[in-house]
Structure 1
Amino acid sequence: MGGGSGGSWSRLGDIRSLEEKAKQALQGGKRNVFISFATEDMNEVNLLRAHAKNENSDIEFNDHSVREPYNSDRAAYIKEKIAERIQRSSVCVVYLSDSTKQSNWVKWEVEESLRQGKKVVGVHPQGKAPVANPTWVREYGLKVVNWSDLPTELK
Protein backbone atom coordinates (compact mmCIF):
# COMPACT_ATOMS: atom_id res chain seq x y z
CA MET A 1 0.00 0.00 0.00
CA GLY A 2 2.68 2.52 0.95
CA GLY A 3 4.98 1.73 -1.97
CA GLY A 4 2.48 2.56 -4.73
CA SER A 5 1.71 6.11 -3.67
CA GLY A 6 5.37 7.07 -3.32
CA GLY A 7 5.99 6.30 -6.97
CA SER A 8 3.22 8.60 -8.16
CA TRP A 9 4.62 11.53 -6.16
CA SER A 10 8.02 10.88 -7.68
CA ARG A 11 6.54 10.84 -11.19
CA LEU A 12 4.68 14.10 -10.49
CA GLY A 13 7.98 15.71 -9.50
CA ASP A 14 9.58 14.36 -12.67
CA ILE A 15 6.76 15.80 -14.79
CA ARG A 16 7.09 19.22 -13.13
CA SER A 17 10.84 19.12 -13.65
CA LEU A 18 10.37 18.28 -17.33
CA GLU A 19 7.80 21.07 -17.71
CA GLU A 20 10.24 23.58 -16.22
CA LYS A 21 13.06 22.39 -18.50
CA ALA A 22 10.77 22.68 -21.52
CA LYS A 23 9.79 26.24 -20.59
CA GLN A 24 13.44 27.21 -20.20
CA ALA A 25 14.36 25.61 -23.52
CA LEU A 26 11.57 27.46 -25.31
CA GLN A 27 12.60 30.83 -23.94
CA GLY A 28 16.34 30.29 -23.49
CA GLY A 29 17.96 33.19 -25.29
CA LYS A 30 15.27 33.41 -27.93
CA ARG A 31 13.36 36.57 -28.74
CA ASN A 32 9.64 36.61 -29.36
CA VAL A 33 9.34 37.93 -32.90
CA PHE A 34 6.41 39.05 -35.01
CA ILE A 35 7.15 38.75 -38.73
CA SER A 36 5.30 41.20 -40.95
CA PHE A 37 5.20 40.38 -44.65
CA ALA A 38 3.14 40.61 -47.82
CA THR A 39 1.26 37.40 -48.60
CA GLU A 40 3.16 37.16 -51.89
CA ASP A 41 6.30 36.54 -49.82
CA MET A 42 4.98 33.58 -47.83
CA ASN A 43 7.46 31.09 -49.33
CA GLU A 44 10.49 33.26 -48.50
CA VAL A 45 9.20 33.93 -44.98
CA ASN A 46 8.70 30.20 -44.45
CA LEU A 47 12.39 29.76 -45.39
CA LEU A 48 13.31 32.30 -42.69
CA ARG A 49 11.16 30.42 -40.18
CA ALA A 50 12.79 27.11 -41.14
CA HIS A 51 16.24 28.67 -40.92
CA ALA A 52 15.48 29.82 -37.37
CA LYS A 53 14.49 26.26 -36.38
CA ASN A 54 17.78 24.82 -37.65
CA GLU A 55 19.95 24.07 -34.62
CA ASN A 56 23.07 25.22 -36.52
CA SER A 57 21.53 28.63 -37.25
CA ASP A 58 22.57 31.88 -35.60
CA ILE A 59 18.96 33.06 -35.78
CA GLU A 60 16.85 32.07 -32.78
CA PHE A 61 13.36 33.31 -32.13
CA ASN A 62 9.87 32.29 -31.15
CA ASP A 63 7.63 33.28 -34.05
CA HIS A 64 4.40 35.03 -33.02
CA SER A 65 3.38 36.09 -36.52
CA VAL A 66 0.25 34.97 -38.30
CA ARG A 67 0.81 31.85 -40.38
CA GLU A 68 -2.54 31.87 -42.10
CA PRO A 69 -4.98 34.70 -42.71
CA TYR A 70 -7.66 35.07 -40.08
CA ASN A 71 -10.99 33.73 -41.29
CA SER A 72 -12.78 37.07 -41.24
CA ASP A 73 -13.49 39.91 -43.61
CA ARG A 74 -13.86 42.31 -40.70
CA ALA A 75 -10.77 44.50 -40.56
CA ALA A 76 -11.31 45.51 -36.91
CA TYR A 77 -11.39 41.88 -35.79
CA ILE A 78 -8.28 41.01 -37.82
CA LYS A 79 -6.41 44.03 -36.44
CA GLU A 80 -7.36 43.07 -32.88
CA LYS A 81 -5.99 39.55 -33.31
CA ILE A 82 -2.78 40.74 -34.98
CA ALA A 83 -2.28 43.38 -32.26
CA GLU A 84 -2.47 40.60 -29.65
CA ARG A 85 0.32 38.73 -31.43
CA ILE A 86 2.43 41.88 -31.69
CA GLN A 87 1.88 42.47 -27.96
CA ARG A 88 3.40 39.05 -27.19
CA SER A 89 6.52 39.89 -29.20
CA SER A 90 9.51 42.07 -28.43
CA VAL A 91 10.62 42.68 -32.03
CA CYS A 92 8.78 43.12 -35.32
CA VAL A 93 10.78 41.85 -38.30
CA VAL A 94 9.48 43.25 -41.58
CA TYR A 95 10.29 41.11 -44.59
CA LEU A 96 11.03 43.61 -47.36
CA SER A 97 10.47 42.75 -51.00
CA ASP A 98 9.10 44.42 -54.09
CA SER A 99 5.62 43.33 -52.92
CA THR A 100 5.86 45.00 -49.50
CA LYS A 101 4.97 48.52 -50.60
CA GLN A 102 1.63 47.35 -51.99
CA SER A 103 0.55 45.85 -48.67
CA ASN A 104 -1.53 48.09 -46.41
CA TRP A 105 -1.46 45.34 -43.78
CA VAL A 106 2.35 45.37 -43.51
CA LYS A 107 2.30 49.14 -43.03
CA TRP A 108 -0.41 48.82 -40.37
CA GLU A 109 1.53 46.05 -38.57
CA VAL A 110 4.64 48.22 -38.51
CA GLU A 111 2.64 51.20 -37.20
CA GLU A 112 1.01 49.01 -34.54
CA SER A 113 4.39 47.61 -33.49
CA LEU A 114 5.80 51.12 -33.13
CA ARG A 115 2.67 52.26 -31.27
CA GLN A 116 3.23 49.42 -28.80
CA GLY A 117 6.87 50.44 -28.37
CA LYS A 118 8.35 47.43 -30.14
CA LYS A 119 11.66 47.41 -31.97
CA VAL A 120 11.07 47.15 -35.75
CA VAL A 121 13.74 45.90 -38.17
CA GLY A 122 13.46 45.50 -41.93
CA VAL A 123 15.11 42.41 -43.40
CA HIS A 124 15.79 40.96 -46.84
CA PRO A 125 17.91 38.05 -48.07
CA GLN A 126 21.48 38.89 -49.08
CA GLY A 127 21.52 40.02 -52.69
CA LYS A 128 17.72 40.22 -52.88
CA ALA A 129 17.01 43.70 -51.55
CA PRO A 130 13.86 45.22 -53.05
CA VAL A 131 14.31 47.69 -55.91
CA ALA A 132 12.79 50.37 -53.63
CA ASN A 133 11.64 50.12 -50.03
CA PRO A 134 8.26 51.57 -49.11
CA THR A 135 8.51 55.27 -48.19
CA TRP A 136 7.40 54.51 -44.63
CA VAL A 137 10.63 52.56 -44.00
CA ARG A 138 12.55 55.84 -44.20
CA GLU A 139 9.76 57.90 -42.57
CA TYR A 140 9.78 55.67 -39.47
CA GLY A 141 13.58 55.45 -39.45
CA LEU A 142 13.61 51.65 -39.65
CA LYS A 143 16.94 49.90 -39.78
CA VAL A 144 17.21 47.53 -42.77
CA VAL A 145 19.62 44.60 -42.68
CA ASN A 146 20.50 41.52 -44.68
CA TRP A 147 18.92 38.30 -43.47
CA SER A 148 22.36 37.11 -42.33
CA ASP A 149 22.70 40.16 -40.01
CA LEU A 150 19.35 39.53 -38.30
CA PRO A 151 20.76 37.63 -35.27
CA THR A 152 22.62 40.77 -34.14
CA GLU A 153 19.49 42.90 -34.55
CA LEU A 154 17.37 40.57 -32.43
CA LYS A 155 19.55 41.13 -29.37
Structure 2
Amino acid sequence: MAKRRIFISFDHDDTDKVNGFFGLRNIIDNFEFYNHKLDHRINSTDEEYVKRVIREEYIQPASVTVVLIGNRTAYSKWVKWEIAESSRQGKGLLGIRLKDTDGPIPEGLPRNHVGDWQPDKFADWIEWAYQNRE
Protein backbone atom coordinates (compact mmCIF):
# COMPACT_ATOMS: atom_id res chain seq x y z
CA MET A 1 0.00 0.00 0.00
CA ALA A 2 1.25 3.47 -0.88
CA LYS A 3 1.97 5.93 1.90
CA ARG A 4 -1.06 8.19 2.43
CA ARG A 5 -0.78 11.79 3.52
CA ILE A 6 -3.67 12.64 5.83
CA PHE A 7 -5.00 16.14 6.45
CA ILE A 8 -6.63 16.33 9.88
CA SER A 9 -9.57 18.70 10.39
CA PHE A 10 -10.98 19.33 13.87
CA ASP A 11 -12.46 21.97 16.14
CA HIS A 12 -10.05 23.74 18.53
CA ASP A 13 -12.28 22.81 21.48
CA ASP A 14 -11.29 19.17 20.95
CA THR A 15 -7.51 19.65 21.01
CA ASP A 16 -7.00 17.42 24.07
CA LYS A 17 -8.94 14.52 22.52
CA VAL A 18 -7.28 15.07 19.14
CA ASN A 19 -3.87 14.62 20.75
CA GLY A 20 -4.94 11.02 21.46
CA PHE A 21 -5.54 10.52 17.75
CA PHE A 22 -2.13 11.95 16.90
CA GLY A 23 -0.62 9.43 19.30
CA LEU A 24 -1.67 6.75 16.82
CA ARG A 25 1.02 7.96 14.41
CA ASN A 26 3.40 5.64 16.19
CA ILE A 27 1.30 2.52 15.61
CA ILE A 28 -0.30 3.09 12.19
CA ASP A 29 2.13 2.51 9.32
CA ASN A 30 1.97 4.05 5.84
CA PHE A 31 0.38 7.33 6.92
CA GLU A 32 1.65 10.87 7.42
CA PHE A 33 -0.58 13.10 9.51
CA TYR A 34 -0.68 16.87 8.89
CA ASN A 35 -2.68 19.58 10.56
CA HIS A 36 -2.34 23.33 10.22
CA LYS A 37 -3.86 24.08 13.65
CA LEU A 38 -0.65 22.81 15.20
CA ASP A 39 1.43 24.94 12.82
CA HIS A 40 2.04 28.27 14.51
CA ARG A 41 3.33 29.81 11.27
CA ILE A 42 -0.30 30.44 10.35
CA ASN A 43 -0.90 33.11 12.93
CA SER A 44 -2.77 35.67 10.90
CA THR A 45 -6.10 37.47 10.97
CA ASP A 46 -6.09 37.59 7.15
CA GLU A 47 -8.66 34.88 6.40
CA GLU A 48 -7.80 34.66 2.70
CA TYR A 49 -4.11 34.17 3.51
CA VAL A 50 -4.94 31.42 6.02
CA LYS A 51 -7.23 29.69 3.51
CA ARG A 52 -4.58 29.85 0.80
CA VAL A 53 -1.93 28.28 3.05
CA ILE A 54 -4.31 25.53 4.21
CA ARG A 55 -5.49 24.86 0.66
CA GLU A 56 -2.00 24.78 -0.91
CA GLU A 57 0.22 23.37 1.84
CA TYR A 58 -2.10 20.98 3.68
CA ILE A 59 -5.14 19.90 1.68
CA GLN A 60 -3.66 19.84 -1.84
CA PRO A 61 -0.85 17.37 -1.07
CA ALA A 62 -3.13 15.14 1.06
CA SER A 63 -4.71 11.89 -0.09
CA VAL A 64 -7.50 11.91 2.49
CA THR A 65 -9.05 14.47 4.85
CA VAL A 66 -9.94 12.98 8.22
CA VAL A 67 -12.46 15.02 10.20
CA LEU A 68 -12.24 14.30 13.91
CA ILE A 69 -15.78 14.84 15.17
CA GLY A 70 -16.34 16.15 18.66
CA ASN A 71 -19.41 17.64 20.29
CA ARG A 72 -19.17 21.02 18.50
CA THR A 73 -17.21 20.20 15.33
CA ALA A 74 -20.28 20.58 13.10
CA TYR A 75 -20.56 24.24 14.10
CA SER A 76 -16.99 25.20 13.15
CA LYS A 77 -16.86 27.42 10.05
CA TRP A 78 -13.27 26.31 9.46
CA VAL A 79 -14.11 22.60 9.56
CA LYS A 80 -17.00 23.23 7.14
CA TRP A 81 -14.65 25.10 4.80
CA GLU A 82 -11.95 22.39 5.05
CA ILE A 83 -14.52 19.69 4.17
CA ALA A 84 -15.82 21.73 1.22
CA GLU A 85 -12.30 22.46 -0.04
CA SER A 86 -11.24 18.82 0.34
CA SER A 87 -14.32 17.72 -1.56
CA ARG A 88 -13.70 20.34 -4.27
CA GLN A 89 -10.18 18.95 -4.69
CA GLY A 90 -11.47 15.36 -4.91
CA LYS A 91 -9.87 14.16 -1.69
CA GLY A 92 -11.06 11.11 0.20
CA LEU A 93 -13.22 12.08 3.17
CA LEU A 94 -13.47 10.23 6.47
CA GLY A 95 -15.11 11.26 9.71
CA ILE A 96 -14.03 9.69 13.00
CA ARG A 97 -15.98 10.39 16.15
CA LEU A 98 -13.68 11.29 19.01
CA LYS A 99 -13.91 9.08 22.07
CA ASP A 100 -16.87 9.88 24.36
CA THR A 101 -18.47 12.47 22.04
CA ASP A 102 -21.81 12.53 20.24
CA GLY A 103 -21.90 15.74 18.20
CA PRO A 104 -23.67 15.97 14.84
CA ILE A 105 -21.89 15.12 11.59
CA PRO A 106 -20.52 18.27 9.92
CA GLU A 107 -22.13 19.50 6.71
CA GLY A 108 -20.56 18.04 3.57
CA LEU A 109 -19.31 14.87 5.23
CA PRO A 110 -21.30 11.89 3.94
CA ARG A 111 -22.95 9.95 6.77
CA ASN A 112 -21.61 6.64 5.41
CA HIS A 113 -18.05 8.03 5.66
CA VAL A 114 -18.19 8.31 9.47
CA GLY A 115 -17.01 5.75 12.02
CA ASP A 116 -16.81 5.57 15.78
CA TRP A 117 -13.63 5.54 17.84
CA GLN A 118 -12.15 2.18 16.81
CA PRO A 119 -8.38 2.71 16.37
CA ASP A 120 -7.81 -0.82 15.07
CA LYS A 121 -9.95 0.05 12.02
CA PHE A 122 -8.55 3.49 11.20
CA ALA A 123 -5.92 2.31 8.69
CA ASP A 124 -8.50 0.32 6.70
CA TRP A 125 -10.99 3.20 6.85
CA ILE A 126 -8.43 5.71 5.58
CA GLU A 127 -7.60 3.45 2.65
CA TRP A 128 -11.35 2.97 1.99
CA ALA A 129 -11.86 6.76 1.98
CA TYR A 130 -9.03 7.13 -0.52
CA GLN A 131 -10.48 4.45 -2.79
CA ASN A 132 -13.97 6.03 -2.56
CA ARG A 133 -13.02 9.67 -3.20
CA GLU A 134 -15.13 11.59 -5.67
Short-chain TM bin: 0.7 to 0.9
Whose radius of gyration is greater, 1 or 2?
1
> Which of 99, 106, 121 is residue 94 of structure 2 equivalent to?
121
Q: Report the number of matched residues.
A: 122
Give CA-to-partner distance per residue, 1:40-90, whole Å, 9 cap, x none: 11111111111222xxx3465211221145210011000001102101110
**Unmatched segments (≥5 aa) in structure 2:** 128-134
Write the distance in 2 (CA, Å) between the matches of 1:80 and 1:135. 21
**Which structure's relative contact order is higher, taking Cα pairs within 8 Å and 6+ residues apart?**
2
> Which of 15, 21, 24 is residue 51 of structure 1 equivalent to?
24
Letter in 1 for 2:123: P
Aligned to 2:51: 79
Query: Over aligned residue pairs, what C-alpha RMSD do you find?
Result: 2.1
Match runs of 1:78-97 below 5 Å: 78-84=50-56, 85-97=58-70
Q: If each structure's helix is expressed as a fraction of its own residues, which one has the higher value?
A: 1
**Unmatched segments (≥5 aa) in structure 1:** 1-27
Task: Give TM-score, length-normalised by structure 1.
Answer: 0.70
The answer on whether the counterparts of 2:6 and 2:33 sit within 8 Å (CA) in structure 1 is yes
Per the alignment, do residues 135 and 82 of structure 1 end up closer, same or farther by CA in structure 2, a change over 3 Å counting? closer
Write the distance in 2 (CA, Å) between the matches of 1:49 and 1:115. 26
Match runs of 1:103-142 below 5 Å: 103-125=76-98, 128-137=100-109, 140=110
